[in-house]
Structure 1
């Protein structure tokens, strides 16, 4: 149960005065959550300094100033289209306050003639006269001090003004309780950090630009708290994993040997090393939880199959789960002929399987006659039961939440888990997302893989590119043509792909196919199948997912508006070619003017095809949130920590978490109790449950 001390922070934002249901919805969009706490995490991105308070004669145009003036007269305009002006003065000069669409009664009440008022806003000059349009603040002289401050500027969303957001955040901060200190006193002293409460307050009350920087002491303190919660939660899950009894799964090699003998190539050194690590885990007393990381085409699927066959040799069943139907089918097509060589029953189960066909697959799994199943989310469904599931392989884990991983492993006893990803993940992100796993890396390319020549061209050279495609098609090559994600609107994506499809069809006729996110599964698969079979020569596609197909004959990849894609994404797309024996090339078409980041991205892609280096550079250029496409990735969404600048804190937090659990595994001591509050504060509730049931 969440500790009572945190109840005020997890109350809905509507419990704050002035936040009704309409605003609450907008705040949730803006801050990413419905609670008071989400407003506390919404830190300012800028500031407005209202401390400049000159006499009128010295007020500099273009600056924000706080002025004390006497109101002279209201000058209502003859028509509503013209502005309403109010003349004011001080001992040194005059100024006009200007209002559009003004309500006279309201302005008379706020600025009564003859009275002294404090106004704050931007000073401008119009027709040689000083003026201030729509002052941000109008107050009596007694409030001068409260106006003449530094105001935080918050990120906004449509429908919310700065004043509304600042007021709601201020109200939220009033609810923040005094929490027990969870930091190690020596670390706190070394870093010269304030208490959590003070660091939060200070982050919302910047005095100088430097206070907004992620490296300022108060922001580093908050980032560390978040990273410590993350690392502690991961360490708890990890400890729980190791405490749970595993099964000893030892194969005798009879099936694996048959498959290896039938392969047209030798396994690479890193494939053999990964297989040895996996076999060691499977034969151990505890459960396996290992991540297999390898670039596109480094041979992960073969490693996964041999690991599954080891489980089958030990008398169990194995399952491989992929995030999309296309990927599941691709894995099945790679694995099925090899499983047949070993004489092992294998099935494919997707959401599309219905009726008798589906029933037959389910019966095979329940009876144990089907030893290996490849599938999508369909494997989670309740009626899917195994005779004895001993091993689960999960592809592209960042598309699945941890709970989904647990649902699948819950279908067997002490299931060993191997997670695969083709997304090279930088070490810092590895720690935050996969810190609960051991890692094997495939660093070599299987023999026969061709290097890919990468070139960058401005979009205005498009006609030359199309001529080049013509020459490639005459040589018998096949071509991917990727259209960009324009903003986040499906309609515009579709339009871009549709237009390109039409223009290429005019040149190449019926040899051009199109796939996009709005097409139904069977329709999409049919186009992909025609491309794989060679009936289509050019495939125009919108998103990355649809291109997760292995077509060895495709040797040209054209990426339009490459500047709109992330580095990792571009690298993934490029890896779709170079899979056969032909020479492959990737053309990155860009639209100027190029920003610094986009230019750096394209440069890195031309220099290297090392996915791990590309991932590290991507993290530096973009920050972690965007790295794998925010939200769609199961990477934790950090609200306060920025892994590109706080990576030193991540390493400290990992060591701290290990030390904490070595000394106080149940978090029962004084600091342990404070750390439980920290875990709940950052909504790592699931990890706390492990303390009781571990």
Structure 2
């Protein structure tokens, strides 16, 4: 049960004075978490300013800079109202100070209201932007007006908030002020030494400081108040991940030591020797598998760093201990590719493989299920079909998940419910900055594969304006005559009136006019069978150019492909461009990546392209991508395991994430059931940030 002290924060915004159902509905659309039926008082408090207006600058009319917000002390003079026949003419109120005159202009004037607001002969404080027409100063619709006697009530630094159509800034401001009055006195959940070292205010003080700033700096992400709230959000998230990890590790795992015989056979059958990074990752994985606690490990490798071989050797270690492995791929194309890539080496070592996808049915499926259940199959490869109810394993010891960022933390728990607490090894070819790894995978240990396997060719990257499209098409024609293969990536599937991006269908048609049947097409709107057929034709050389959307971004392996053309490269994220580029340079040929862009390039697009030309290190690219566009959509999909934060900014508050991860793990080591006073405060934090599920994990024990 949520502590009753937090109830005022979980009341609907419509419980605040002046907020009816209509305004409440607008607020829900603006500030409530996805899927919430209505906005809560807490959501208002967590809706932080996007900037401030500084009204502390008091000047004389004559000195007022144009188009900047200033505050003037004026004596109000004559009111001049338009005649009724004048239609949309404004009211003009003349005012002055010792240095000169200014006209206060109001369109669609309400005369009685204006006469009450600006009484003739009164001294008033007026704030807004000054403009000059023919040398005369004017202010259109001042932002703030008050008698001099009431000037101390004026918010000299006013926060500005993101709004939505129909919701007035003043209405939102009043609602936030009312919400601040409801903030309860909560116990401190942050370690006192950390509070002291970082100069963090208390939770309630932090909210008040940001929403009622004394200086513009008080409402910036670097301010102590904002850093306090960012840390709270990180700590809640890391605590939830640590509780998930504690729950998974509580179930005693299987000891999968093995004697190394199968692994030695596989290494002997490989056409290359393992890199230092692969050998180190394998040492970490085998140490985890041999321990009685369950392994929960993330294997991060750049495009083409050799993760699949590491996974195969881990699955061989499971087999040496008499256990089966399941390899889960996000798409059928990738599942088939893993099966084809592993088959020869696995069979040479005496390992039996089976491919299970949603396409299997009837007798063939029944035979596979029987072989899996009886333990005849050592390694099962497939899509989500591996975890359907009718799939039973003889002894499942290891689950390997490819491209884990497609699955969230709760799927991680589901994936390992088959079998007797199997170990979990998760792989991603998306280089993810360290802060994001902690955000999405804080419950896991991490192994990183740096560098590429021996023999991989460097890729030459060039940026070319769209005007030179004809030249690129000619170059592609010469390349396919010499037996090379080409990826041609477009951002959209079909031409849309809303966008000038070239559609994949349209580019496919234009390239077919030049190169005939040598051109194939693959995109996300095709069925799995159509995609497979298109990729098989490309892999076999039946087609030499494949026009594609980003469905080929992850994992598809065609060693003969040596040219990657990306249209409208300026529209793609840096990590996504790097992923696409990694589809070439996998064979013995020198490879190139052509970034076609439509100018003029913005600053961010130019920086992206420059970084891509400079380096092939995916981890450096990912860090730069985070700096360029924040956490936004760094993993290429909003449906990723990565949550987005409401107040914390991964690019601004990265240093706090690591502290939160360590603090959460240490807290659970000392107080695994959160029963101490600080533990009880931590439960309040989890409820406050919507981590109720984590508290349920705690109760389930």
| TM-score after normalising by structure 1 | 0.90
Query: Which residue of structure 2 aligns with residue 437 of structure 1?
Result: 444
Q: CA, structure 1 residues 228+663, in 2 after alignment: closer, same or farther (shift >3 Å)? A: same
Query: Which residue of structure 2 aligns with residue 499 of structure 1?
Result: 506
Deviation at 1:141, TM superposition (A): 7.1
Deviation at 1:161, TM superposition (A): 4.2
Matched, 1:263 2:277: no
Instruction: Using the TM superposition, name which of 396-405 and 503-512 deviates more.
Output: 503-512
Within the candidate set 508, 533, 544, 1:537 is matched to 544
Query: Which residue of structure 2 aligns with residue 50 of structure 1?
Result: 55
Query: Which residue of structure 1 aligns with residue 36 of structure 2?
Result: none
Within the candidate set 491, 513, 517, 1:510 is matched to 517
Superposed CA deviations along residues 259-298 of structure 1, whole A, max 9, x for unmatched, are 4443333333332332332222222111111111111112
> In the aligned structure 1, how far is the partner of 2:394 from the partner of 2:569?
48
Matched, 1:173 2:180: yes
Instruction: Using the TM superposition, name which of 505-514 and 336-345 deviates more.
Output: 336-345
Which aligned pairs between 1:183-582 and structure 2 lie closer than 5 A? 183-484=190-491, 492=499, 495-545=502-552, 548-582=555-589
Query: Which residue of structure 2 aligns with residue 7 of structure 1?
Result: 7
Superposed CA deviations along residues 442-479 of structure 1, whole A, max 9, x for unmatched, are 23433332221222233333222222112211211111
Structure 2, gaps ≥5 residues long: 34-38
Does the 8 Å contact 1:485/1:564 carry over to 2? no
Within the candidate set 677, 680, 686, 2:684 is matched to 677
Does the 8 Å contact 1:362/1:384 carry over to 2? yes
Query: Which residue of structure 1 aligns with residue 652 of structure 2?
Result: 645
Query: Which residue of structure 2 aligns with residue 87 of structure 1?
Result: 93
Q: CA, structure 1 residues 175+281, in 2 after alignment: closer, same or farther (shift >3 Å)? A: same
Matched, 1:623 2:630: yes
Structure 1, gaps ≥5 residues long: none
Q: CA, structure 1 residues 493+554, in 2 after alignment: closer, same or farther (shift >3 Å)? A: farther
> In the aligned structure 2, how far is the partner of 1:523 from the partner of 1:262?
34
Does the 8 Å contact 1:556/1:585 carry over to 2? yes
> In the aligned structure 2, how far is the partner of 1:160 from the partner of 1:357?
60
> In the aligned structure 2, how far is the partner of 1:550 from the partner of 1:343?
25
Matched, 1:63 2:76: no
Query: Which residue of structure 1 aligns with residue 694 of structure 2?
Result: 687
Q: CA, structure 1 residues 581+415, in 2 after alignment: closer, same or farther (shift >3 Å)? A: same
Instruction: Using the TM superposition, name which of 292-301 and 43-52 deviates more.
Output: 43-52
> In the aligned structure 2, how far is the partner of 1:489 from the partner of 1:118?
52
> In the aligned structure 2, how far is the partner of 1:59 from the partner of 1:448?
67
> In the aligned structure 1, how far is the partner of 2:52 from the partner of 2:95?
28
Secondary structure of the corresponding residue to residue 448 of structure 2: strand
Superposed CA deviations along residues 519-541 of structure 1, whole A, max 9, x for unmatched, are 33332332222222222222222
Superposed CA deviations along residues 577-603 of structure 1, whole A, max 9, x for unmatched, are 011111111122333333443333322
User: What is the root-mean-square deviation in Å for CA atoms of aligned residues?
Assistant: 3.2
> In the aligned structure 1, how far is the partner of 2:141 from the partner of 2:504?
46
Superposed CA deviations along residues 145-193 of structure 1, whole A, max 9, x for unmatched, are 4445321111234554433433443333333222111222232223322
Q: CA, structure 1 residues 115+73, in 2 after alignment: closer, same or farther (shift >3 Å)? A: farther
Instruction: Using the TM superposition, name which of 273-282 and 107-116 deviates more.
Output: 107-116
Deviation at 1:438, TM superposition (A): 2.2
> In the aligned structure 1, how far is the partner of 2:367 from the partner of 2:143?
71
Superposed CA deviations along residues 30-70 of structure 1, whole A, max 9, x for unmatched, are 33514332222221121112345656666554233456535
Secondary structure of the corresponding residue to residue 440 of structure 1: strand
Deviation at 1:398, TM superposition (A): 1.4
Deviation at 1:407, TM superposition (A): 1.0
Deviation at 1:416, TM superposition (A): 0.5
Within the candidate set 654, 662, 678, 2:661 is matched to 654
| TM-score after normalising by structure 2 | 0.89
Does the 8 Å contact 2:372/2:393 carry over to 1? yes
> In the aligned structure 2, how far is the partner of 1:83 from the partner of 1:138?
22
Query: Which residue of structure 1 aligns with residue 591 of structure 2?
Result: 584
Deviation at 1:197, TM superposition (A): 0.7
Does the 8 Å contact 2:48/2:161 carry over to 1? yes
Q: CA, structure 1 residues 520+11, in 2 after alignment: closer, same or farther (shift >3 Å)? A: farther
Does the 8 Å contact 2:492/2:504 carry over to 1? no
Secondary structure of the corresponding residue to residue 466 of structure 1: helix
Matched, 1:41 2:46: yes
